A and B are shown apart, each in its own frame.
Chain A
């Protein structure tokens, strides 16, 4: 339809062409463009505007200063600590989930057979419950005299370990929350590994480790990388785990942004921090995506 429109326009004399008439495709896309402009671009532009506004003011688009960014790079500003915690925990989450999710993804593809669908649902099901509710559930599980501690004491044992309100439990919460986001792209990646290729390698005498390293892993890599990227992007912005399970034993970067917008009454500082984190994640995502062949991953060629 779009091609036809272009041809008609090309044949029409220049002066008779309807002025700036939109193609049917563009017309159909208008609502989506409008929605994206309103719901996606506008807040980002507002955040960008605030990031260069006078500190502790609401002079958005009426002032311009780089003071907010300069303050972030001030050696006395310890916000880098929060950034390090977020990056470090996001990297740890990705690394650990890659190890945890791989055997499950392998099982869903090759081992569980007809039970795979049911097991997949078990992993998806928690996503239907609010993350905060699930995390408060874990608090009740681990809290003193809670489900774990109370049960162990009832059995005459010493009680559960004191793990709540520590950085370790924050990491546990992130692993729990983001497991599905690593698992399903990885499962998809592994599903794209042809069985024939594995069988042929085995027939030719390749060992299990060799097959995994030379065939399975490289062929499943696009799925694994998408999973890692998705998990990293979500995990670096995680707040609830550190707040609810970790009792703020560490302060993460998204929490710092939240504080700037609330108690600090400093929207420009919060915006500058948000812009910096967004650019960091954006650059990382673009870099990773440039290394991925999505067509190949989705089996289009």
Chain B
């Protein structure tokens, strides 16, 4: 017993519990097992669809498991909590790979020579060396980009015109006349950004106590005035039925299924101006898919990243079940020609360029924890 301390005992228990907690993934490969025929993907929905995965499964004969989640922090926490040995690929929004996962050694770099040529066929803004695909020092390629889009708010243009919405911007949510007429998408990291913007504050900086007080006042007011908070399906349903006229946090990602379903009056809006860097009024996201720093990484991870670059697969990813989004591979004419007019309308292709130009790219809020706690407390006061 002499060699056992309370600390070592706790650590041993921790390891044991960790192993037990990983129970569902037992069989996905202990450290030394060969993993040539299996691949585990942690992703936003779409990459887990049968349309995307089945052809890869057939061509490789591999067992491909994909789990989709709808927020970045949860996915990254899964790796932090010990699932680094489980997953091969992780697909999250742009800043996480470069600013969080690589420094924390949760992901590993990709072979540059193999992947650089793919960037040449992407849309011009993604040309090599594309910022979010590279490490902070620019030396390493840390992920591949595919889906992207502007993400601010959505309106029913029968009730609020596109011109009014773009011109008034986030002040729509400061308008007492619209209280009870808007919803809030349950996407709390984005809601933190947006409450800051509605308060006239740039979210992507360290905030002063005065700014946080303004944030709190705005959060209480905006959440109190919301008719509902819910998921994408609830937001689209409420817009279509007329329960609400607009909802905060939304874009092509959330509204495209409703547009594709015959509701072109529902539209993602990127405000003309706002308190973001350069006076911009919108925020955009770009997904980056990286190889997890799994000590026993499946070789299929690299193959899969190459597989989704093919024009037909990229088109399938863009219109996989769930949400519809533009993809960087639309820069390749062979990929672009696969999109029908209706599909381009669904993702608001005609205004995509200008909306992306009016947006800053998704980033990390330095005092996110503090702001989120304030926002959650404000949410509790709804009742």
With both beta carbons as reference points, the residue of chain A lying nearest to B368 in the complex is identified as A265
Tell me, in angstroms, the Cα distance from A265 to B81 when the chains sit together: 11
Q: Is the CB of A144 within 8 A of B20?
A: no
Q: Is the CB of B77 within 8 A of A267?
A: yes
Q: Is the CB of B243 within 8 A of A144?
A: yes
Contacting residues, chain A, for B372 (C-beta < 8 A): 263-264
Interface of B is mostly: helix
Instruction: Identify the 6 closest CB pairs spanning chains A and B, nearest first.
Output: A247-B228, A61-B14, A248-B229, A250-B383, A42-B20, A263-B188
Contact with B along A56-96 (1 / 0, CB 8 A): 10101110100000000000011101100100000000000
Tell me, in angstroms, the Cα distance from A208 to B5 when the chains sit together: 69
With both beta carbons as reference points, the residue of chain A lying nearest to B19 in the complex is identified as A42
Q: Is the CB of A247 within 8 A of B230?
A: yes
Given contacts A81-B380, A146-B241, 15 further A-B contacts (CB under 8 A): A43-B21, A45-B17, A58-B81, A60-B14, A77-B377, A85-B383, A139-B237, A244-B234, A247-B228, A249-B228, A251-B379, A256-B376, A259-B376, A263-B73, A265-B76
With both beta carbons as reference points, the residue of chain A lying nearest to B77 in the complex is identified as A265
Q: Is the CB of B71 within 8 A of A49?
A: no
Q: Is the CB of B73 within 8 A of A61?
A: no
Contact of B241 among A39, A60, A64, A145 (CB under 8 A): A145
A82-B380, A249-B382 given as contacts; is B228 within 8 A of A144 (CB)?
no
Tell me, in angstroms, the Cα distance from A76 to B284 when the chains sit together: 35
A144-B241, A247-B229 given as contacts; is B74 within 8 A of A262 (CB)?
yes
A248-B186, A264-B376 given as contacts; is B11 within 8 A of A61 (CB)?
yes
A244-B230, A262-B74, A264-B373 given as contacts; is B383 within 8 A of A49 (CB)?
no
Q: Is B242 an interface residue when CB atoms closer than 8 A count as contact?
A: yes
Contacting residues, chain A, for B74 (C-beta < 8 A): 261-263
Tell me, in angstroms, the Cα distance from A227 to B381 when the chains sit together: 32
* Residue ranges of A at the interface with B (Cβ–Cβ < 8 Å): 37-39, 42-43, 45-46, 49, 56, 58, 60-62, 64, 77-79, 81-82, 85, 136, 139-140, 143-146, 164-165, 167, 243-244, 247-251, 256, 259, 261-267
Number of interface residues, chain B, beta carbon within 8 A: 43
Contact of A78 among B186, B233, B380 (CB under 8 A): B380
Contacting residues, chain A, for B230 (C-beta < 8 A): 243-244, 247-248
CB distance from B266 to the nearest CB of A (A): 15
Count A-B pairs with CB separation below 8 Å. Answer: 119
Q: Is B175 an interface residue when CB atoms closer than 8 A count as contact?
A: no
Q: Is the CB of A62 within 8 A of B383?
A: no
Tell me, in angstroms, the Cα distance from A191 to B369 when the chains sit together: 55
CB distance from A137 to the nearest CB of B (A): 12
With both beta carbons as reference points, the residue of chain B lying nearest to A76 in the complex is identified as B377
Q: Is the CB of A249 within 8 A of B383?
A: yes
A247-B228, A261-B74 given as contacts; is B17 within 8 A of A46 (CB)?
yes
Q: Is the CB of B20 within 8 A of A248?
A: no
Contacting residues, chain A, for B77 (C-beta < 8 A): 58, 261, 265, 267
Q: Is the CB of A78 within 8 A of B381?
A: yes
Contact of B23 among A38, A45, A77, A143 (CB under 8 A): A38
Of B227, B234, B238, B383, most buried by chain A (CB within 10 Å of CB) is B383
CB distance from B155 to the nearest CB of A (A): 17
- 9 pairs of residues in contact across A and B, judged by CB atoms under 8 Å: A49-B17, A61-B11, A61-B13, A78-B380, A85-B383, A136-B233, A139-B237, A247-B228, A261-B74
CB distance from A212 to the nearest CB of B (A): 37
Contacting residues, chain B, for A64 (C-beta < 8 A): 10
CB distance from A72 to the nearest CB of B (A): 13
Q: Is the CB of A61 within 8 A of B189?
A: no
Tell me, in angstroms, the Cα distance from A256 to B238 when the chains sit together: 24
Q: Is B80 an interface residue when CB atoms closer than 8 A count as contact?
A: yes
Q: Is the CB of A143 within 8 A of B14?
A: no
Of B186, B188, B243, B377, most buried by chain A (CB within 10 Å of CB) is B243
Q: Is the CB of B17 within 8 A of A42?
A: yes
Of A144, A164, A263, A266, most buried by chain B (CB within 10 Å of CB) is A263
Q: Is the CB of B71 within 8 A of A262?
A: yes
Contacting residues, chain B, for A39 (C-beta < 8 A): 23
Tell me, in angstroms, the Cα distance from A60 to B183 when the chains sit together: 38
Contacting residues, chain B, for A164 (C-beta < 8 A): 228, 243
